[in-house]
Amino acid sequence: MAAIFNLEISLVISFAAILIMVFCLLQVYTLKAKIPGGVIGKHWNILVMLVVLFSVGYLATPFFGALPAELMRLIASLIFFFGAIYVLITIRLIYRIIQELTA
Amino acid sequence: MKPQAIASKTRKGEEEIQSRKYALERNLRYMLILVDGKSTIEQLINEKGSHLADVEAGLHTLAVQGFIAIDGVSLCEGGDDCMVPASDDISALKAALVAAARDILGADAGSIVSRLEAAPESREGLQETVNNCKKVVRLLIDEQKADALLARCATILQGIA
């Protein structure tokens, strides 16, 4: 009973995460059309690629239970790695924006 | 010459109008009189100068000889005489800035043109708006175009060709 409850909770969280990521995907593409280039445009292209990557990864989460443990660990570490890159790019982008606006 | 570019009289052009110092031929002088710092090349050719012969070639001759500047930029290498005098006409300055933005940014000029058109009616206000526009262009459009836009706008605002 507890195991089924845990499974349902994790599925609900996974689906919520997928919905949020799909929303993020729509947002980054909508904004991309308004950012033809410049400092933000360069960073934005990388962010779009990462959001696409995360979306694919998130869409696969409901099927994680069927994957071998070794592969799951590899996927989890890759998600952490690209998550760190995403944060790094976001921080650098904010830093450059502040630099440009205060120059 | 681009049809949407704004033509302005240089100091040499103003001098010719006032004193006929350079003895321009009559047709070119008429064209020089039509140049008001607000009209585009297209308007000068198709509207104001429609009764004159070969206005486009005439305007080009005036530009090369340093009597007029196109979008605040002189085609003449004649030194100070070919500079556009700093204008006190804010709407003319604004029109020249908008034309420069359209020329440099092309299809991406929309939001910058809106900002320039909404700029305060003072030289300081225009300068501040241009600085802000440069930042927006650097962030959202293109870093090199931002520098080109700032240089062109500085030329227009300072009256240097």
Instruction: Please give, rounded to a whole number of angstroms, the shortest distance from the CA of B85 to a CA of chain A.
Output: 30
Q: pLDDT of B97-128, one tens digit each?
A: 888 899 899 888 888 999 998 988 888 888 99
- What's the pLDDT at A2? 59
Band (A67; pLDDT cuts 50, 70, 90)? confident
Q: Hey, is the C-beta of B138 within 8 angstroms of any chain A C-beta?
A: yes
> What is the C-alpha separation between B39 and A54, in angstroms, rounded?
53
> What is the C-alpha separation between B24 and B27, in angstroms, rounded?
8
Token pair, residue B27, equals 């047709």
Assign residue B7 a region: left if phi > 0, alpha if psi is -120 to 50, beta otherwise?
beta
A101 contacts B146? CB cut-off 8 A: no
Q: How many CB atoms lie within 10 A of CB B25?
A: 9
| Nearest Cα residue to B86 out of B72, B74, B98 | B72
Instruction: Please give, rounded to a whole number of angstroms, the shortest distance from the CA of B145 to a CA of chain A.
Output: 9
Instruction: Please give, rounded to a whole number of angstroms, the shortest distance from the CA of B84 to a CA of chain A.
Output: 30
Mean confidence (pLDDT) of chain B: 83
A34 contacts B139? CB cut-off 8 A: no
B117 CB-near residues (< 8 Å, 6+ apart):
B94, B98
- What's the pLDDT at B161? 42
ipTM: 0.71
B140 contacts A36? CB cut-off 8 A: yes
B135 contacts A38? CB cut-off 8 A: no
Instruction: Please give, rounded to a whole number of angstroms, the shortest distance from the CA of A101 to a CA of chain B.
Output: 7
Task: Tell me the CA distances in angstroms from B161 to A15, A73, A99, B108, B152, one per residue in order.
Answer: 62, 65, 31, 25, 9
Q: Hey, is the C-beta of A93 within 8 angstroms of any chain B C-beta?
A: no
Residue in chain A closest to B106 (alpha carbons) equals A36
Q: Could you give the count of Cα atoms lying within 13 Å of A89 in the half-sphere of its Cβ?
A: 19
Q: Hey, is the C-beta of B143 within 8 angstroms of any chain A C-beta?
A: yes
Residue in chain B closest to A35 (alpha carbons) equals B140
- What's the pLDDT at B134? 92
Q: pLDDT of A11-23, one tens digit each?
A: 888 889 999 999 9
B87: phi then psi, degrees, rounded to nearest 5:
-90, 145
Query: Which residue has tokens 């350079």?
Result: B22
- What's the pLDDT at B18? 83
- What's the pLDDT at B81? 62
Residue in chain B closest to A39 (alpha carbons) equals B139
Q: A with B: how many residue pairs have Cβ under 8 Å apart?
A: 30
- Bridge partners of B9, per DSSP, are B68
Which of A54-58, A69-73, A96-100, B6-10 is the least confident region?
Answer: B6-10
Is the pTM of the predicted complex or chain greater than 0.90? no
Q: How many CB atoms lie within 10 A of CB A32?
A: 14
Name every chain A residue with its beta carbon within 8 A of the beta carbon of B108: 36
Which of A64-78, B69-83, B95-109, B132-146 is the least confident region?
Answer: B69-83
Are B116 and B107 within 8 A, CB to CB?
Answer: no
- What's the pLDDT at B26? 86
